[in-house]
């Protein structure tokens, strides 16, 4: 195919859309939740966020240069910035700078460009970054802090923040457990969920986001607002978010009903950890999720169930990243089995029989 | 009337308001008309005139070239200036044999065939012959000889003649104007066609964005029974034959079958009007309504142009270009083809001439697919464009065919929606061409193999026959020799003294 003929082929009208615009809209949708959490966790979070996003963009540029591809055009699609953004949102807010840099190398270098760059990766780059970090540096990656809103009493100033993020001097006094982590630890000490639940923030705080957690995941309400905005702009559809949350809620609620002392409630699973962030912004990653709506439902339910399984039975208190990565691996096969029925053909691809009005 | 949903589809920027309120105007006769012999699907027409001949309007100047073909008629009176090869309105711009007619300005009709008296009770064969003789082809764009399609009643049990007034392509308003201004002619043509086909029902489908056309057609149809005018949702590609049939009847045409297989025949509204002219007045198809529009046209318009007028004549009639167009298009912007230039003629299947600005076509280089799945969601044929394109990029046509690329109707919705601006439908057209070529090659190889095997068999048989003949001869000779020897021995014995 010559370039000329492609240039001349129809249609001669196009929807106003571009990859750049799509990515930018996602960034825009992440803005409220991010702004709130940067405020909530203060200067160290702002530094880590900046370093992580910057590292991802630099890593992308380096990989493109190595591959001999045009750098400027590829960088302007914001995909590296989005990966960095999501990665930063999944990190402990006061983690040291090298966590962000290493995460960027794994996310962009390993997960994205080893596979051939944008559109070619099997696994969600941000989640690969986070997972590799979590497995390699479990202590640093689970060092949560209580909210320290900017300018509030006890919140670190810019210089202290540099000490925390660049110097790696994590003050001992501020550490806290995430709600999921707390429940899990207590359970392992023989304390039932019904009892440990008393120490986690109440539902309202969990929803609004005034709790310990990753840099961008705490505010379910603001993430939901961003997600709804993406749906209104038709960047994502309801299929993945609803099926992730529906799958997680149903299985959690069912087991909770059977044994409330052992299993947390469905609502708790929904509002804690990275459920909302995962459902609206991570599982919905175009490249690594199925292309058909039916496939997306299968994918979403799979994510939801896996999140619950990992949170409940595995060694880690949180399972969103693992669940999404596992389902990413299944995406090609889901795609293969959830193709739409072609016009005039049955599900097997044979022409419809004559004489029957409807398939 | 209960309508049925069709899958997917898109809502492009229609921009019909550019020309929808412009009444049809007749193009002043150009100084020369260029009538290509191939304006339809099928065999080209065969020239009946010579250079220098004087012809009258409506006189047949080229006859039908086969079972699937259509004749050409002189669009006005004048002199045949030349018969030569000039550029066709095809993206390739390749030359094809064209009759060049110099109008004499009198626009005198030839002796036309008599109108068919009482066509609604006439022998259907008479109507089909008249339509064939009048050079009528599908005027929605496909340009398939209409008479062939009117024959379907002989082979299929038909229930509905579906008249396609959807006009789902953006910009185009020619069908809209024809329905608004000539509703009676369209309805009459439809009734005649229904009679020829033997269908008891006529349904006329019009997209809801043409309320005046809907009103005019409903009004014109109200005096007859068995004709329904139906508004269908504005959803591209509603005008696709199979999809329109599904929207109206709920029936899904099986793959590799015709809509006639499920009892429906689809014709365009402008075709019905042409049938009306041919049957009621004996007038062949010598002109058509063309929408000239687009951001680069100074005054967009709907023009009744003689077949063979140059695109340049129509553009000039519209005041020329306001700005330099980025692209000239034959047809609508979704499925239309690029025009190789302004010097090509108007042909029977040309519904629109668009001169589009860069802002309108939004040309952008293709970038990598991000698997957003939009193409899967909107594909009206239930295909997976993203997957097919990936295989076609690797020239793996076998898998692309398995994934259904041959079922693609080339509506272009996937290309339109793609945020990466990948020319998906172009990939599919390319693959269809390659698969067809491979099929031809395969058939050719099969044929060669059959012939060569037959040849080998023949040669072997001949050799065997020869060997057998030789053996027989040898045996005969041997027998003869033996007989001789025996005779000699006998003789010897006799001669030997006792």
Which pLDDT tens digit goes with each residue over B223-267? 999 999 999 999 999 999 999 999 999 999 999 999 999 999 999
* Chain center to CA of A337: 25
CA distance B208 to B234: 6
Inter-chain touch A22–B387, beta carbons under 8 Å = no
**How far is A99 from chain B, CA to nearest CA, in Å?**
28
The pLDDT of residue A328 is 97
Inter-chain touch B362–A287, beta carbons under 8 Å = no
pLDDT band at B122 (very low <50, low <70, confident <90, very high): very high
Whether the pLDDT of residue A173 is over 90: the answer is no
Inter-chain touch A340–B402, beta carbons under 8 Å = no
Whether the pLDDT of residue A171 is over 90: the answer is no
**How far is B73 from chain A, CA to nearest CA, in Å?**
32
Structure tokens at B257: 């079958």
Structure tokens at B364: 């952008």
Task: Sort strands B95-103 and B33-36 into parallel, antiparallel or unpaired.
Answer: antiparallel
The pLDDT of residue A190 is 87
One-character DSSP codes across B212-268: HHHHHHHHHHTTSSSEEEEEE---BTTTSHHHHHHHHH---PPTT--GGGGTEEEEE
Domain boundaries, chain A: 19-337
Whether the pLDDT of residue A2 is over 70: the answer is no
The pLDDT of residue A3 is 34
Inter-chain touch B337–A10, beta carbons under 8 Å = yes
Chain A residues with CB under 8 Å of B335 CB are 10-11
Determine the residue of chain B that is closest to A74 in CA distance. B367
The pLDDT of residue A202 is 80
Question: What does the pLDDT average to over A131-136?
Answer: 96
Radius of gyration of chain B (CA): 31
Inter-chain touch A15–B373, beta carbons under 8 Å = no
Single pTM value for the model: 0.89
Inter-chain touch B407–A351, beta carbons under 8 Å = no
The pLDDT of residue A176 is 76
Whether the pLDDT of residue B495 is over 70: the answer is no
Residue whose structure tokens are 């910057």: A54
* Measured torsion, CA atoms of residues B245, B250, B251, B254, in degrees rounded to the nearest 10: 80
Which range (A197-206, A214-223, B128-137, B283-292) has the least confidence? A197-206
Determine the residue of chain A that is closest to B365 in CA distance. A7
Inter-chain touch B407–A345, beta carbons under 8 Å = yes
The pLDDT of residue B231 is 97
**How far is A217 from chain B, CA to nearest CA, in Å?**
24
The pLDDT of residue B132 is 95
Chain B residues with CB under 8 Å of A21 CB are 419
CA distance B369 to A190: 51
**Interface pTM (ipTM) of the complex?**
0.89
The pLDDT of residue A203 is 79
CA distance A265 to B227: 62
Q: Are B135 and B348 in contact (CB under 8 A)?
A: yes
Average pLDDT value for chain B: 94
The pLDDT of residue A181 is 86
The pLDDT of residue A288 is 97
Closest C-alpha among B209, B207, B218 to residue B243:
B207
**How far is B338 from chain A, CA to nearest CA, in Å?**
7
Residues above pLDDT 70, as percent of chain B: 99
Question: Is A240 in a helix, a strand, or coil?
Answer: helix
**How far is B138 from chain A, CA to nearest CA, in Å?**
22
A-B interface: how many C-beta pairs under 8 angstroms?
A: 183
Determine the residue of chain B that is closest to A352 in CA distance. B254
Pick A19's closest partner by Cβ from B381, B384, B419.
Answer: B419
Helix (H) or strand (E) holding B206: strand B201-207
Question: Is B29 in a helix, a strand, or coil?
Answer: coil
**How far is A225 from chain B, CA to nearest CA, in Å?**
21
Whether the pLDDT of residue B86 is over 70: the answer is yes
* Measured torsion, CA atoms of residues A33, A37, A43, A45, in degrees rounded to the nearest 10: -90
Which range (A181-190, A201-210, B52-61) has the least confidence? A201-210
Give φ, ψ of B249 to 5 degrees.
Answer: -105, -15
Question: What does the pLDDT average to over B115-123?
Answer: 93
Inter-chain touch B252–A352, beta carbons under 8 Å = yes
Inter-chain touch B371–A291, beta carbons under 8 Å = yes
Which range (A171-185, B92-106, B316-330, B457-471) has the least confidence? A171-185
Inter-chain touch A343–B429, beta carbons under 8 Å = no
Question: What does the pLDDT average to over A178-195?
Answer: 86
Inter-chain touch A291–B386, beta carbons under 8 Å = yes
Residue whose structure tokens are 């750098």: A71
Whether the pLDDT of residue A83 is over 70: the answer is yes
Q: Which of B423, B428, B429 has the highest number of chain A CBs within 10 A, making it the mutation to test binding with A?
A: B423
DSSP 8-state class, residue B270: H
Inter-chain touch B407–A344, beta carbons under 8 Å = yes
Question: What does the pLDDT average to over B293-297?
Answer: 96
Chain B residues with CB under 8 Å of A352 CB are 252, 254-255
Q: Which of A2, A3, A8, A11 has the highest number of chain B CBs within 10 A, making it the mutation to test binding with B?
A: A11
**How far is A188 from chain B, CA to nearest CA, in Å?**
42
Pick A1's closest partner by Cβ from B363, B418, B430.
Answer: B430
Structure tokens at B123: 């022998």
Q: Which of B10, B240, B329, B368 has the highest number of chain A CBs within 10 A, making it the mutation to test binding with A?
A: B368
Inter-chain touch B362–A117, beta carbons under 8 Å = no
Closest C-alpha among B189, B147, B144 to residue B165:
B189
DSSP 8-state class, residue A58: H
CA distance A29 to A25: 6
Radius of gyration of chain A (CA): 22
Inter-chain touch B382–A341, beta carbons under 8 Å = yes
Domains and CATH numbers, chain B: 16-26+117-330 (3.40.50.11540), 367-498 (1.10.1060)
Determine the residue of chain A that is closest to B11 in CA distance. A15
Q: A178-211 as b/e, with b when 16 or more CB fall inside 10 Å? A: bbbbbbbebbeeeeebeebbeebbeeeebbbbbb
Determine the residue of chain B that is closest to A285 in CA distance. B372
* Measured torsion, CA atoms of residues B92, B93, B99, B104, in degrees rounded to the nearest 10: 140
pLDDT band at B92 (very low <50, low <70, confident <90, very high): confident
């Amino acid at each position: 195919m010559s370039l000329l003929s492609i240039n001349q082929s129809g249609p001669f009208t196009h929807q106003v859309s571009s990859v750049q615009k799509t990515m930018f809209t996602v960034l825009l949708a992440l803005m409220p939740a991010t702004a709130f959490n940067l405020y909530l966790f203060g200067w160290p979070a702002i530094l880590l966020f900046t370093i992580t996003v910057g590292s991802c963009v630099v890593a992308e540029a380096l990989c493109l240069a190595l591959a001999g591809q045009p750098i400027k055009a590829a960088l302007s699609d914001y995909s590296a910035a989005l990966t960095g953004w999501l990665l930063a949102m999944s990190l402990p807010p006061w983690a040291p700078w090298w966590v962000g840099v290493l995460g960027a190398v794994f996310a962009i270098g390993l997960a994205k460009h080893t596979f051939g760059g944008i559109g070619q990766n099997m696994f969600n780059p941000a989640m690969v970054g986070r997972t590799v970090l979590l497995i390699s540096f479990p202590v640093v990656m689970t060092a949560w802090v209580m909210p320290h809103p900017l300018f509030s009493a006890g919140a670190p100033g810019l210089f202290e923040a540099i000490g925390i993020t660049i110097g790696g001097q994590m003050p001992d006094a501020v550490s806290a457990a995430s709600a999921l982590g707390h429940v899990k630890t207590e359970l392992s000490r023989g304390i039932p969920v019904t009892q440990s639940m008393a120490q986690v923030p109440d539902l309202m705080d969990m929803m609004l986001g005034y709790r310990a957690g990753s840099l961008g995941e705490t505010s379910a309400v603001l993430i939901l607002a961003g997600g709804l905005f993406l749906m209104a702009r038709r960047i994502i559809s309801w299929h993945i978010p609803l099926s992730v949350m529906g799958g997680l809620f149903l299985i959690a609620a069912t087991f909770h009903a059977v044994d409330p002392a052992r299993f947390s409630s469905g609502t708790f699973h929904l509002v804690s950890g990275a459920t909302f962030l995962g459902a609206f912004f991570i599982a919905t990653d175009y490249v690594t999720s199925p292309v058909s709506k039916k496939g997306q439902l299968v994918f979403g339910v799979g994510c939801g169930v896996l999140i619950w399984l990992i949170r409940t039975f595995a060694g880690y208190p949180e399972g969103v990243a693992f669940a999404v990565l596992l389902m990413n691996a299944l995406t090609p096969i889901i795609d293969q089995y959830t193709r739409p029925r072609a016009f005039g053909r049955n599900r097997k691809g044979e022409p419809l029989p004559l004489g029957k009005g409807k398939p | 009337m209960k309508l049925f949903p069709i899958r997917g589809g898109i809502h492009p920027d229609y921009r019909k308001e550019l020309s929808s309120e412009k009444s049809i105007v007749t193009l002043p006769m150009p100084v020369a008309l260029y009538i290509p012999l191939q304006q339809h699907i099928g065999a080209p027409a065969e020239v009946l005139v010579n250079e220098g001949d004087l012809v009258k309007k409506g006189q047949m100047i080229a006859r039908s070239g086969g079972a699937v073909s259509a004749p050409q008629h002189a669009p006005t009176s004048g002199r045949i200036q030349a018969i030569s090869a000039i550029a066709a309105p095809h993206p390739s711009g390749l030359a094809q044999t064209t009759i060049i007619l110099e109008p004499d300005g009198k626009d005198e009709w030839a002796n036309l065939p008599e109108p068919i008296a009482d066509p609604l009770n006439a022998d259907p064969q008479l109507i089909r012959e008249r339509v064939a003789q009048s050079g009528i082809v599908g005027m929605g764009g496909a340009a398939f000889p209409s008479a062939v399609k009117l024959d379907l009643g002989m082979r299929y049990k038909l229930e509905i003649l579906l008249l396609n007034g959807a006009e789902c392509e953006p910009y185009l308003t020619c069908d809209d104007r024809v329905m608004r201004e000539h509703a009676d002619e369209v309805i009459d043509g439809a009734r005649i066609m229904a009679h020829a086909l033997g269908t008891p029902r006529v349904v006329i489908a019009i997209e809801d964005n043409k309320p005046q056309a809907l009103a005019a057609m409903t009004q014109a149809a109200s005096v007859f029974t068995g004709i329904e005018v139906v508004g269908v949702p504005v959803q591209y590609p509603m005008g696709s034959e199979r999809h329109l049939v599904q929207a109206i009847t709920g029936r899904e045409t099986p793959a590799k079958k015709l809509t006639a297989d499920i009892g429906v025949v689809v014709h365009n509204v402008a075709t019905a009007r042409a049938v009306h002219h041919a049957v009621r007045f004996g007038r062949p198809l010598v002109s058509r309504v063309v929408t000239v529009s687009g951001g680069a046209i100074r005054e967009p318009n709907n023009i009744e142009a003689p077949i063979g007028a140059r695109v340049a004549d129509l553009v000039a009639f519209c005041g020329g270009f306001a700005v330099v167009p980025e692209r000239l298009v034959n047809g609508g912007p979704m499925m239309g083809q690029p025009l190789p230039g302004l010097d090509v003629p108007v042909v029977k299947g040309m519904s629109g001439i668009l001169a589009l600005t860069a802002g309108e076509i939004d040309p952008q280089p293709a970038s990598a697919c991000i698997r957003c799945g939009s193409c899967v969601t909107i594909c009206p044929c239930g295909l997976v464009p993203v997957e097919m394109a990936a295989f076609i990029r690797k020239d793996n046509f076998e898998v692309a065919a398995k994934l259904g690329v041959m079922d693609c109707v080339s509506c272009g919705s996937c290309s339109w929606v793609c945020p990466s601006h990948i020319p998906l439908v172009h990939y599919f057209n390319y693959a269809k061409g390659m698969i067809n070529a491979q099929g031809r090659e395969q058939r050719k190889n099969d044929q060669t193999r059959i012939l060569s095997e037959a040849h080998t068999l023949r040669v072997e048989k001949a050799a065997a026959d020869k060997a057998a003949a030789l053996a027989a001869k040898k045996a005969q000779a041997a027998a003869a020799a033996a007989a001789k020897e025996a005779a000699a021995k006998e003789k010897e014995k006799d001669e030997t003294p006792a």
